[in-house]
């Protein structure tokens, strides 16, 4: 029932089924051609195969965008960050290029991944799989002893990952004292960058994910708290994105990820919720500082951390049209990062990263930005907005389906919940168990209050569940 339901959701959302023949033919021609493929501008790649890169991703991932190697450099560190060189596989204006513009992002359903690129590229010759030579865009970022950037460079290279690691593997190795020095350096840099993030006023979005997990015979809902290494690894990506944004802003060309600052009333709503959840939030402590001391495995803390969505709204992309100094205007900053920021580290799964990366390569090399990039930049913000909307709608609809199926046989039962948001006509509640989020019509329950709810209906056909105060 659920698999048929997931497909019905994809049909409703217009999720593509397979790739057109001309797209597959173009991808196959590139995959069957010389490896690594020639660079788009005919330049020579640096040979970086001697660096012991590893990839760190969820277990089972095969579309590997990033490989990392961190080493000590005097009293500081050097971050080597290899990103899949997708532009070397995609001909501007070709069938594959046009298809990626139609898709925008890789879409994830519980039973299926709908890739931005054909799998023979995204999970094959473009993916940074272990023990094979791959083309990459190589970032080299030098940090001082406090984790502050002192130098950055980016160029095309060939790399060879030495291992495909999962977050769980790396976390166990670090916790157990068996991690090699490169992984220890990754942790140390991650912690330093988290400290610099606090100083900037950045927000750590360690939000427990409402996930659909395949448990063999079926699916279940769970709230999964991230491993610490996921945050450390994310800091490397954030660091790279901040460096990329700075390159593009200085040059006056490119595209950055932007988000307006939260309104004061948003923080006031969060303070009221914290009080309702018995979370102590002193007035001299910022939100960014508070959330770092919360444990996502604690139900009250998890409910509060989920409210980061109140602050992180209206994110989008903005084209860079002219050089900008160190004091970036607010419209070119990302409020959660508390800095200018760009997406450049996931080109296999996100269209915009290919464009930002090409801008950075040109700026670093002192060469003109390719014309196909300049031609495509103006339309990218709207293309990515539509792609992100579809991704969110797909995810929400799949979760709604699983919620209604799991609860269908429990109508009339009572559940404990916390009110995590309030809107004009309804409240949003988070059940303690199972990991269900629901709307209570009428509202007025009180933000942050613990409430007992009765399940009134659960309809898989409409993918709806309805609760009312018990």
Query: What confidence tier does 217 reach under pLDDT thresholds 50, 70, 90?
Result: low
pLDDT of 371 above 90: yes
Fold of 409-469: OB fold (Dihydrolipoamide Acetyltransferase, E2P) (2.40.50)
Q: Identify the helix (H) or strand (E) that includes residue 139.
A: strand 133-143
- Domain boundaries defined on the chain: 2-260+314-405, 409-469
**Long-range CB contacts for residues 39-42, cutoff 8 Å, separation at least 24:** 39/88, 39/135, 39/156, 40/87, 40/88, 40/358, 40/370, 41/367, 41/370
Of residues 430 and 460, the one with the higher pLDDT is 460
With tokens 């991230």, the residue in question is: 226
Cβ neighbours, 10 Å, residue 462: 11
What was the pLDDT predicted at 221?
63
Burial class (CB in 10 A: 0-12, 13-18, 19+), 434: middle
Q: Is the pLDDT assigned to residue 208 strictly greater than 60?
A: no
Q: How confident is the model at residue 428 (pLDDT cuts 50, 70, 90)?
A: confident
Residue 299 binned pLDDT confidence (cut-offs 50, 70, 90) = low
pLDDT average, residue stretch 386-404: 93
pLDDT bracket for residue 223 (50, 70, 90)? low
The dihedral region occupied by 236, where left means phi > 0, alpha psi between -120 and 50, and beta the remainder, is alpha
The percent of residues above 90 in pLDDT, for the chain, comes to: 70
Residues 169 and 233: their CA atoms lie apart, in Å, by 13
Percent of the chain past pLDDT 70, that is, above it, reads 94
Residue scoring higher pLDDT (39 or 227): 39
Residues 6+ apart with CB under 8 A from 389: none
User: What pTM does this model have?
Assistant: 0.91
Question: Per-residue pLDDT averaged across 80-101, rounded?
Answer: 98
Evaluate if residue 216 carries a pLDDT over 80: no
Considering only CA atoms, which of 329, 315, 328, 384 is closest in space to residue 356?
Answer: 384
- Does residue 67 have a pLDDT over 90? yes
For residue 82, give the H/E element and its range: strand 76-84
Residues sharing a CB contact under 8 Å with residue 448, sequence separation 6 or more, in sequence order: 272, 273, 274, 275, 276, 277, 418, 419, 420
Among the listed residues 71, 183, 67, 180, the one whose alpha carbon sits nearest the alpha carbon of residue 133: 67
What confidence score (pLDDT) does residue 354 get? 98
**pLDDT given at position 179:** 98
């Amino acid at each position: 029932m659920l698999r048929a339901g997931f497909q019905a959701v994809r049909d409703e959302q217009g999720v593509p089924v397979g790739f057109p023949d001309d797209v597959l033919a173009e991808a196959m021609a590139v995959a069957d051609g010389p490896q690594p493929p020639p660079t788009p501008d005919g330049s020579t790649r640096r040979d970086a195969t001697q660096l012991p890169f590893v990839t760190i991703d969820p277990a089972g991932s095969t579309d590997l965008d990033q490989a990392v190697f961190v080493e000590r450099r005097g009293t500081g560190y050097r971050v080597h960050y290899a990103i899949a060189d997708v532009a070397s596989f995609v001909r501007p204006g070709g069938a594959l290029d046009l298809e990626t513009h139609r898709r925008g992002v890789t879409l994830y359903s519980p039973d299926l991944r709908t890739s931005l690129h054909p799998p023979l590229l995204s999970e094959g010759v473009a993916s940074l799989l272990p023990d094979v030579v791959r083309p990459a865009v190589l970032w080299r970022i030098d940090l001082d002893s406090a984790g502050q950037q002192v130098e950055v460079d980016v160029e095309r290279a060939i790399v060879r990952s030495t291992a495909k690691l999962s977050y769980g593997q790396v976390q166990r190795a670090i916790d157990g004292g068996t991690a090699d020095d490169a992984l220890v350096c990754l942790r140390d840099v991650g912690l330093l960058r988290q400290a610099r993030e606090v100083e900037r006023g950045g927000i750590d979005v360690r939000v427990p994910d409402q996930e659909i997990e395949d448990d063999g015979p079926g699916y279940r809902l769970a709230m999964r708290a991230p491993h610490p290494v996921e945050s450390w690894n994310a800091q490397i990506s954030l660091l790279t994105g901040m460096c990329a944004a700075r390159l593009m802003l200085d040059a006056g060309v490119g595209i950055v990820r932007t988000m307006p600052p939260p309104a004061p009333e948003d923080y006031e709503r969060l303070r009221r919720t914290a009080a309702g959840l018995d979370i102590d939030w002193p007035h001299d402590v910022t939100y960014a500082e508070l959330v770092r001391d919360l444990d996502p495995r604690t139900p009250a803390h998890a409910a509060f951390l989920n409210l980061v969505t109140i602050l992180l709204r209206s994110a989008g992309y903005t084209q860079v049209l002219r050089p900008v100094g160190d004091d970036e205007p607010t419209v070119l900053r990302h409020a959660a990062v508390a800095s200018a920021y760009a997406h450049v580290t996931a080109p296999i799964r996100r269209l915009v990263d290919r464009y930002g990366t090409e801008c950075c390569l040109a700026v670093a090399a002192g060469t003109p930005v390719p014309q196909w990039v300049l031609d495509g930049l103006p339309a990218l913000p709207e293309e990515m907005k539509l792609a992100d909307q579809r991704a969110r709608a797909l995810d929400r609809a799949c979760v709604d389906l699983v919620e209604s199926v799991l609860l269908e046989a429990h109508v009339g039962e009572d559940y404990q919940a916390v009110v995590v948001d309030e809107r004009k006509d309804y409240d949003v509640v988070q059940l303690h168990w199972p990991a269900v989020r629901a709307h209570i019509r009428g509202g007025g329950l009180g933000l942050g209050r613990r409430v007992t709810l009765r399940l009134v209906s659960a309809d898989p056909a409409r993918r709806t569940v309805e609760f009312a105060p018990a």
